[in-house]
Amino acid sequence: MKRQASGPPHPAFRAFTRALPLTPASVLLLLFLAGPIAYCAYIAFTDLQLTGQAEDSFIGFDNFRTAFGDEAFLNAVWLTLVFTVVSALLGQNTLGLALAALMQRASKPVRTLVGGIVVTAWVLPEVVAGFLLYAFFRREGTLNAVLDWLQLPTQNWLYTLPILAVSFANVWRGTAFSMLVYSAALNEIPKEITEAAEVDGAGGWRRMWHITLPMIRRSIGTNLMLITLQTLSVFGLIWVMTRGGPGGRSQTLPLFMYEEAFQKSMIGYGTAVALLLLVVGSLFSVIYLRLLRTEV
Amino acid sequence: MRPTAPSSRRSPLRLLLTAALAVTAPGALAACGSGSGSDPDTVEVSYKQSTDNQVRVMDTFLADVKKQFEKANPGKKVKLVPIKAPDSEYYTKVQQMLRSPKTAPDLVYEDTFLINSDITSGYLKPLDDYLADWKDWDQFIDTAKTAAKAEDGKTYGIPDGTDTRGLWFDKAIFEKAGLPSDWQPKSWADLLTAARTIKAKVPDVIPLNVYTGKPAGEAATMQGFEMLLYGTEGATAAGATDPLYDEKSKKWKAGTQGFKDALAFVETVYKEKLGPEVSDALDPNISTRVRGELLPEGKLGINLDGSWLPQDWLPGSGHEWPEWSEKLGLAHMPTQNGQSPGKVSMSGGWTWAIPDKAGNPDLAFEFIETMQSKANAQKWYIANSGIAVRKDVAADPAYVEAQPGIKFFTDLVSSTHYRPAYPAYPKVSTAIQEAMESVTTGDASVAEAAKNYDEELKAATDDQVIEGTEE
Largest CA distance in chain A: 92
Q: Report d(CA A34, CA A38) in Å as an integer.
A: 6
Using DSSP's 3-state secondary structure scheme, residue A273 falls into helix
CB-based contact B92 A263, cutoff 8 Å:
yes
* Contact (Cβ atoms closer than 8 angstroms) between residue B206 and residue B293: no
Contacts (Cβ under 8 Å, ≥6 apart) of A287:
none
Q: Give the pLDDT of residue B292.
A: 86
Contacts (Cβ under 8 Å, ≥6 apart) of B300:
B170, B173, B205, B206, B209, B290, B294
The proportion of chain B whose per-residue pLDDT surpasses 70, expressed as a percent, equals 91
Q: What angle do CA A50, A52, A53 make, to 5 degrees?
A: 85
In this model, does residue B346 exceed pLDDT 90? Answer: yes
* Contact (Cβ atoms closer than 8 angstroms) between residue B79 and residue B38: no
When pLDDT is cut at 50, 70 and 90, the band that residue B133 belongs to is: very high
Q: Give the pLDDT of residue A253.
A: 94
Within A124-190, where are the H helices?
A: 126-137, 142-149, 157-160, 162-188
Q: Is B27 on the interface with A (CB under 8 A)?
A: yes
Amino acid at B285: N
Residues of A in contact with B92 (CB under 8 A): 50, 262-263, 265
- Judged by average pLDDT, the poorest of A28-37, A286-295, B288-297 is A286-295
Residues of A in contact with B123 (CB under 8 A): 51
Using DSSP's 3-state secondary structure scheme, residue B321 falls into coil
Amino acid at B96: Q
Mean local confidence (pLDDT), A225-246: 89
Q: Report d(CA A88, CA A82) in Å as an integer.
A: 10
Q: What is the DSSP string of A74-136?
A: HHHHHHHHHHIIIIIIIIIHHHHHHHHHHHHHS-HHHHHHHHHHHHHHHHS-HHHHHHHHHHH
Q: Is B87 on the interface with A (CB under 8 A)?
A: no
Q: Report d(CA B64, CA B380) in Å as an integer.
A: 11
CB-based contact A246 B426, cutoff 8 Å:
no
How much of chain A is in helix, strand and coil states, percent to nearest 5? Answer: 75, 0, 25
In this model, does residue A2 exceed pLDDT 80? Answer: no
Q: Is A65 on the interface with B (CB under 8 A)?
A: no
B83 DSSP β-pair partners:
B48
Mean local confidence (pLDDT), B102-123: 91
In this model, does residue B24 exceed pLDDT 80? Answer: no
Give the number of other Cβ atoms within 10 Å of residue A81's Cβ: 15
Q: Is A142 on the interface with B (CB under 8 A)?
A: no
Compute CA distances B369 → A267, B133, B146, whole Å.
36, 11, 18
* Interface residue of B15, B206, B437, B441 to substitute, partner A, most A CBs within 10 Å: B15
In this model, does residue B282 exceed pLDDT 70? Answer: yes
DSSP state of A58: B
- Judged by average pLDDT, the poorest of B161-170, B316-325, B381-390, B410-419 is B316-325
Residue scoring higher pLDDT (A216 or B50): A216
Q: Report d(CA A158, CA A147) in Å as an integer.
A: 15
In this model, does residue B36 exceed pLDDT 80? Answer: no
Q: What angle do CA B159, B164, B169 make, to 5 degrees?
A: 150
Residues of B in contact with A158 (CB under 8 A): 279
* Interface residue of B7, B121, B285, B441 to substitute, partner A, most A CBs within 10 Å: B121
DSSP state of B335: P
Residue of A nearest to B13 (CA): A19
Smallest Cα distance from B283 to chain A, Å: 8
pLDDT digits (tens, 9 = 90+) for B186-217: 999 999 999 999 999 999 999 999 999 988 88
Q: Is B114 on the interface with A (CB under 8 A)?
A: yes
- Taking only residues 275 to 334 of chain B, the set having a beta carbon closer than 8 angstroms to any beta carbon of chain A reads 277-280, 282, 284
Q: Report d(CA A249, CA A163) in Å as an integer.
A: 7
* Contact (Cβ atoms closer than 8 angstroms) between residue B106 and residue B335: no
In this model, does residue B68 exceed pLDDT 50? Answer: yes
CB-based contact B279 A53, cutoff 8 Å:
no
Task: Please tell me which of the candidates A15, A26, A245 has its beta carbon nearest to residue B214.
Answer: A245
CB-based contact A139 B279, cutoff 8 Å:
yes
In this model, does residue B461 exceed pLDDT 70? Answer: yes
Using DSSP's 3-state secondary structure scheme, residue B201 falls into helix
Q: Is B438 on the interface with A (CB under 8 A)?
A: yes
- Judged by average pLDDT, the poorest of A188-202, A247-261, B351-365 is A188-202
- Tell me how long chain A is: 296
Give the number of other Cβ atoms within 10 Å of residue A235's Cβ: 16
Helices A217-232 & A93-105 angle (0-180, nearest 10):
130
Task: Please tell me which of the candidates B12, B118, B437 has its beta carbon nearest to residue A18.
Answer: B12
Is the Cα dihedral B442, B445, B446, B448 positive or negative? Answer: negative
CB-based contact A14 B7, cutoff 8 Å:
no
Smallest Cα distance from A31 to chain B, Å: 7
Q: Report d(CA A56, CA A267) in Å as an integer.
A: 11
CB-based contact A243 B284, cutoff 8 Å:
yes
Whether the model clears a pTM of 0.85, i.e. scores above it, the answer is no
Residues of A in contact with B284 (CB under 8 A): 243
* Contact (Cβ atoms closer than 8 angstroms) between residue B240 and residue B248: no
In this model, does residue B4 exceed pLDDT 70? Answer: no
Q: Report d(CA B51, CA B176) in Å as an integer.
A: 36
* Contact (Cβ atoms closer than 8 angstroms) between residue B108 and residue B351: no
Is the Cα dihedral B257, B258, B259, B261 positive or negative? Answer: positive
Q: Report d(CA B425, CA B403) in Å as an integer.
A: 33
Compute CA distances B210 → B168, B213, B428, B443, whole Å.
11, 10, 19, 18
Q: Report d(CA A136, CA A157) in Å as an integer.
A: 10
CB-based contact B19 A51, cutoff 8 Å:
no
- Tell me how long chain B is: 471
Q: Report d(CA A272, CA A277) in Å as an integer.
A: 9
Q: Are strands B343-347 and B416-418 parallel, antiparallel or unpaired?
A: parallel
> Which of B216, B271, B219 is closest to B445 using CA atoms?
B271
Q: Give the pLDDT of residue A3.
A: 52
Q: Going edge to edge, which strands form the sheet with B343-347?
A: B333-334, B343-347, B416-418
* Contact (Cβ atoms closer than 8 angstroms) between residue B147 and residue B413: no
B80 DSSP β-pair partners:
B45
Q: Is B443 on the interface with A (CB under 8 A)?
A: yes
Amino acid at A99: L
> Which of B80, B63, B57, B47 is closest to B318 using CA atoms?
B57
Residues of A in contact with B7 (CB under 8 A): 11
Contacts (Cβ under 8 Å, ≥6 apart) of A192:
none
Give the number of other Cβ atoms within 10 Å of residue B109's Cβ: 20
Q: Is A57 on the interface with B (CB under 8 A)?
A: no
Mean local confidence (pLDDT), B8-29: 47
Residue scoring higher pLDDT (A85 or B87): A85
Query: Which residue pairs, CB below 8 angstroms and at least 24 apart, start in B18-22?
Result: B19/A19, B19/A23, B19/A26, B19/A27, B20/A23, B20/A26, B20/A27, B20/A30, B20/A31, B21/A30
Mean local confidence (pLDDT), B265-290: 91
Identify the helix (H) or strand (E) that includes residue A205. Answer: helix A204-207
Buried b (16+ CB within 10 A) or exposed e, B132-158: eeeebbebbbebbbebbbbeeebbbbb
Q: Give the pLDDT of residue A9.
A: 76
Q: Is B63 on the interface with A (CB under 8 A)?
A: no
In this model, does residue B25 exceed pLDDT 50? Answer: no
Q: Is B121 on the interface with A (CB under 8 A)?
A: yes
Q: What angle do CA B209, B211, B216 make, to 5 degrees?
A: 140
Most confident of A232-236, A245-249, B235-239: A232-236
Task: Please tell me which of the candidates B116, B278, B284 has its beta carbon nearest to residue A159.
Answer: B278
Residues of B in contact with A27 (CB under 8 A): 19-20, 23-24
Q: Report d(CA B78, CA B371) in Å as an integer.
A: 12
CB-based contact B426 A264, cutoff 8 Å:
yes
When pLDDT is cut at 50, 70 and 90, the band that residue B116 belongs to is: confident
Q: Is A30 on the interface with B (CB under 8 A)?
A: yes
pLDDT digits (tens, 9 = 90+) for A163-189: 999 999 999 999 999 999 999 999 888
Q: SS3 for B63-104, per residue? A: HHHHHHHHHHCCCCEEEEEEEECCHHHHHHHHHHHHCCCCCC
CB-based contact A265 B213, cutoff 8 Å:
no
* Contact (Cβ atoms closer than 8 angstroms) between residue B424 and residue B252: yes
The proportion of chain A whose per-residue pLDDT surpasses 70, expressed as a percent, equals 97
CB burial class (10 A; 0-12, 13-18, 19+) of residue B111? buried
Q: Report d(CA B208, CA B191) in Å as an integer.
A: 9
CB-based contact A15 B11, cutoff 8 Å:
yes
Q: Going edge to edge, which strands form the sheet with B77-84?
A: B77-84, B42-49, B107-111, B350-353, B157-159
Give the number of other Cβ atoms within 10 Å of residue A2's Cβ: 5
